[in-house]
Chain A
Amino acid sequence: MLFHPATFAPQLRCNRRMITVRKLVKRFGPKTVLRGLDFEVESGEFVALLGPNGAGKTTFLRILASLSRPAMGEVQIAGFFLPGQASSVRRRLGVVSHLPLLYGDLTAEENLRFYGRMYAVPDLPPRITEVLEMVGLAARRRDLVRTFSRGMQQRLAIGRAVLHDPDVMLFDEPHTGLDQDASVMLDTVLQEVAARGRTVVMTSHDLARTADLASRFDVLSRGKIVASVQRDDMESTNNLLAFYRQAVEEA
């Protein structure tokens, strides 16, 4: 069983708007990174956010994660507004970035225990075991995280992010720095996370990898969503590269 019985509420994860973003603007000094961005995600969707370097993907994800405050615009996640109801939003979010957000001098189990306490996860010990089994690290639970390979750290990072059973998962370039085998293993975990009805937003440069995972593809360029396509509307995922190139060129 992947979800904790006390918090698993599948009825909440379907047929409703999970993320709504309106006219989002973010500036760093004189530089405007996001220029009136609009974005919507339905519950259970897996959205891949594609775009060239410097398009504002990471900045956008950090705003959704409540780590960065927008200059203007409205952000609503799971019915709660940012930044006013940030604590309620954080409770429903799981975030994985290219950094593991894990402590090297703690074991895998200790890392999960720490984050479990921070998120007030009930019945923590069995939940930790469950999550470690899900990410394939049960045998290494008592090993220090600094002894883990990059791929193992990233899998544990996903375990950390799903520990409190969030409704929305944000992945920022999760494949960065992973070799082929580790990437394939990470994809398996990502598919399992998404298959449980979670809403997922993932930024990526790797179109081939993304094509097999996402149900919708949005292209972010020059601080705006410039194109969007449903996977079901594409004749083949081989067309994704052409779609992406055209969207960026037209922007």
Chain B
Amino acid sequence: MKRKSQIANFFRALWAVVWKDLSAEWRSRELLTAMLVFALLVILIFNFALELDARARASVTSGVLWVTFAFAGTLGLNRSMATEKDRGCLDGLLLAPVDRSAIYFGKAIGNLVFMFVVEVIVLPIYSVLYNINLFRPGLLLVILLGSIGYVAVGTLLSTMAVQARTRDILLPILLFPLVVPIMIAAVKASGGFLQDLPWIEVSTWINLLIVYDVIFVAVAFMLFDFVVEE
């Protein structure tokens, strides 16, 4: 009975954090606007910088896409945690009598929703600009898995970085080396689907993405309590 109540408390707190992040963003639209403008500028600049034929387009698309998602994602992760820190709200969250991993998962789900919104808007625009069909089930699966891994580790590191005065610089410095395996796997898998490679050649990268997602989510779950404590 006590166990059931603990689980119910966990999910209630998790949902409360997600609801709070989405409601606040719905009002201000600060975070999504910044992420979207940045993402669209990146793909626009790449579009003019790279004069590509159809074959070259398929090979560079995955790289351009993931660079766009990674940079826009960093912007969102930084802003999402800065909102908690600026008015002392992170302390407010930590004072609540809930399992702190519920706070982590709540923040991570909120960040993932913001990342998905940006991706849903960027993909069709990219398709039109580069004249390439990105709506392939395999590619969408890679975007889902890559985003989960990126946000899992990014939410943990942004919680660490936000405690420092140099948080804007610190997050990318901490985050990018750690997400290199996710980025490589995501770029390779996306490229494979765009070039219509057989499943056997792509599946290795998909498996790698799944393994990294599981590892990063588990590590973040275990470390969050230590990261937030003074």
Residues of chain A touching chain B, judged by Cβ–Cβ distance below 8 Å, are 62, 65-69, 87-88, 90-91, 93, 95, 97, 99-106, 110, 114-115, 117-120, 144, 160
Could you give, for residues 89-120 of chain B, a 1 whenever the CB lies within 8 Å of some chain A CB and a 0 otherwise? 10111111111000000000000000000000
Tell me, rounded to whole Å, the shortest Cβ–Cβ distance linking B108 to chain A.
Answer: 17
Q: Is B23 an interface residue (CB 8 A)?
A: yes
**Cβ of A69 and Cβ of B92 under 8 Å apart?**
no
- B20: contacting residue among A90, A99, A106, CB under 8 A: A106
Q: If the complex has contacts A101-B88, A110-B23, are A115 and B96 also in contact, measured as CB distance less than 8 A? A: yes
Identify 5 new A-B residue pairs, CB closer than 8 A, beyond the known A68-B229, A118-B16: A95-B91, A103-B87, A104-B87, A105-B23, A160-B92
- Chosen A-B contacts, 30 in total, with CB atoms closer than 8 Å, are A65-B91, A65-B95, A66-B95, A69-B229, A87-B97, A90-B95, A90-B96, A95-B91, A99-B91, A100-B87, A101-B92, A101-B95, A102-B87, A103-B20, A103-B24, A103-B89, A104-B87, A105-B27, A106-B24, A110-B20, A110-B23, A114-B16, A114-B20, A115-B96, A117-B13, A118-B13, A118-B93, A118-B96, A119-B96, A119-B97
The A-contacting residues of B in range 73-99, CB under 8 angstroms, are: 83, 87-89, 91-99
B residues in contact with A119, CB < 8 Å: 96-97
The answer for the CA separation of A93 and B23 in the assembled complex, in Å, is: 27
- A106: contacting residue among B12, B23, B91, CB under 8 A: B23
The answer for the CA separation of A32 and B230 in the assembled complex, in Å, is: 14
The A-contacting residues of B in range 1-48, CB under 8 angstroms, are: 9, 12-13, 15-16, 19-20, 23-25, 27-28
Q: If the complex has contacts A101-B88, A104-B87, are A62 and B230 also in contact, measured as CB distance less than 8 A? A: yes
The answer for the CA separation of A52 and B195 in the assembled complex, in Å, is: 69
A residues in contact with B20, CB < 8 Å: 103, 106, 110, 114
The answer for the CA separation of A153 and B9 in the assembled complex, in Å, is: 28
Inter-chain contact count A-B, CB under 8 Å? 79
**Cβ of A93 and Cβ of B95 under 8 Å apart?**
yes
**Cβ of B88 and Cβ of A99 under 8 Å apart?**
yes
**Cβ of A105 and Cβ of B95 under 8 Å apart?**
no
- B19: contacting residue among A62, A97, A104, A114, CB under 8 A: A114
**Cβ of A117 and Cβ of B16 under 8 Å apart?**
yes
A residues in contact with B13, CB < 8 Å: 117-118
Tell me, rounded to whole Å, the shortest Cβ–Cβ distance linking A154 to chain B.
Answer: 12
Closest to B9 in A: A120
**Cβ of A67 and Cβ of B91 under 8 Å apart?**
yes
Tell me, rounded to whole Å, the shortest Cβ–Cβ distance linking B78 to chain A.
Answer: 17
**Cβ of B93 and Cβ of A97 under 8 Å apart?**
no
The answer for the CA separation of A94 and B167 in the assembled complex, in Å, is: 29
A residues in contact with B28, CB < 8 Å: 105
The answer for the CA separation of A102 and B27 in the assembled complex, in Å, is: 15
Q: If the complex has contacts A69-B230, A120-B12, are A101 and B97 also in contact, measured as CB distance less than 8 A? A: no
The 8 closest A-B pairs by CB, nearest first: A99-B88, A101-B92, A118-B96, A117-B16, A68-B230, A105-B24, A91-B97, A90-B97
**Cβ of B27 and Cβ of A106 under 8 Å apart?**
yes
Tell me, rounded to whole Å, the shortest Cβ–Cβ distance linking B29 to chain A.
Answer: 10
**Cβ of B19 and Cβ of A101 under 8 Å apart?**
no
Tell me, rounded to whole Å, the shortest Cβ–Cβ distance linking A73 to chain B.
Answer: 15
**Cβ of B88 and Cβ of A100 under 8 Å apart?**
yes
The answer for the CA separation of A105 and B94 in the assembled complex, in Å, is: 20
The answer for the CA separation of A93 and B97 in the assembled complex, in Å, is: 9
Closest to A66 in B: B95
B residues in contact with A115, CB < 8 Å: 92, 96
